[in-house]
Amino acid sequence: DGGITQSPKYLFRKEGQNVTLSCEQNLNHDAMYWYRQDPGQGLRLIYYSQIVNDFQKGDIAEGYSVSREKKESFPLTVTSAQKNPTAFYLCASSIGARSGNTIYFGEGSWLTVV
């Protein structure tokens, strides 16, 4: 089936630890995104990538890093510099980053700091 696969669904991070969330898509989309969702808040953009080997910071990039070595993959690393990482993380993709293109979301990953 075509879609966006995020893993793991649930992840626990210890203080001072880096963790990486995986995002893979087989939709042949050029653009990929990472959003963070907190309870009662709207989605906030962390990073996005319009093409392989290129990515841009979103509104809340501090404490996060990404890579885009392959078109299908856009992993997000939550570093120890992110002081409040507990949240629901959503990966998304679209044909391109133009405003008229529908953004498709993965099923999300829950990250909890223990």
Could you list the residues that contact other proteins (CB under 8 A)? Answer: 4, 6, 31, 33, 40-45, 48, 50, 56, 58-59, 88, 90, 92, 94, 97-100, 102-108, 110
Which CB, 76 or 90, lies closer to other proteins? 90
Please state the closest distance from residue 16 (CB atom) to other proteins, in A: 27
Tokens representing 10?
A: 């649930």
Which CB, 17 or 62, lies closer to other proteins? 62
Write out the E strands in 1-114: 4-7, 10-13, 19-25, 31-37, 44-51, 54-57, 64-66, 76-78, 87-94, 104-105, 109-113
Tokens representing 59?
A: 């509104």
Please state the closest distance from residue 105 (CB atom) to other proteins, in A: 3
